[in-house]
Structure 1
């Protein structure tokens, strides 16, 4: 299989473009909210990754805003990394994808965007989004999605988030949305709590129909759905009054979110096992949380 240099370049550039659009939109929300405190701004840090022999193995940008008017903590990370998979990662990938030959040629390349937003206002839902492309000499795949994580659920907010996801999925066939919604419900589930971590969204993994252009277009539309699905909810809720009771609900829900990301999330496990910057990998964790 070719190394798909042009396709990799296009995918990596798209994730950066999406990142730029989201950062601009989020800083715009900070400006629109007003108040005595300065509007939040992202701090940008370049991340690097080295292989076991010390050679360059890629990196990315970690963009984090803390203590804003609207966002208590939000991270929008992009990365493009490459190298060879370790023994455990080889075995996991071979088992999940049914591949042969990983041990003989364990090279990989991966690029993507990962976002998690934790909000100041408990009425404003937290959110997660990521999209990615993964390549090995044995195949390429796309994956990702987004899900909404309110501590105080509003049915109309949930309906809006899902309707925008469906609209963007339907551009590629009306059969996709329900499958991806069901997949998200299964994936973003916390077995030891016997509950979902939020109100769902869409999710897919190991996506390869054999048509790279079509699959790339699909993953782009999953990314494009994010801002129109999420920003209107933030605009509606960011000035809603709240007190200690609502804040307590938010902190307890954040504890649930942290449990999922540390125990079950495949992206967290992959990032730590492949030597990526730990601060970037664990960016998803909330700034404050509590457990009852």
Structure 2
């Protein structure tokens, strides 16, 4: 069964074009969401994979930390599901690049049929409580507005003093939002879409919580596994930092499946990965 790659992109379209080229394989279909804030859409084509974009009317104005991140993921799940079924649905960003060829990539996932594969992220109970069980106001403008950040801190402080909780039935689980999940898991999330969007509408970075948490609480016979191999990324204060040519030794001597994030500011590492992946075909 084929794999679906679901890509959330908003810039660095030259990196996106290289990503699609490295995923272009008869065993894959590719689905792309371009942020609604983008006016001029990139021209990208495939030779072997089906390639589909989220339509203009369904594109989301995605904001950091906001429920719109989850809405964009659901838009991709829905579009891919209409064209499936697929063995796996891989949620990735437009600044990911595969670090192995598709033979090796498919071999890895064929070893774990119907598993839900997550890239682990550090967390603590206080963080999870704050992000999932408090009302996080001002997320739409949080990353750009000092006022929204102050408002958010005051709101959290008041809720902590009053011991207010909005999702008392959940102990939240965190992982990278760049996940690889099965057809059954996607079906479950889509069936629960309305409930999930309501539960996470006031969360902070709920995209890192909703898939592992909701699949855990589903109590299905799924294998939820966490693999360091899924993604090479350098986590900074809030976001992944750019992978550069200084990481070439790590890339060449590790077995990561994907790396994130790449930038046109350092194309040497990008071209190195292109050559490495293509030479192993």
- Normalising by structure 2, what TM-score? 0.29
Higher relative contact order (CA 8 A, sep 6+): 2
- Normalising by structure 1, what TM-score? 0.28
Q: Tell me which protein shows more strand as a share of its residues.
A: 1
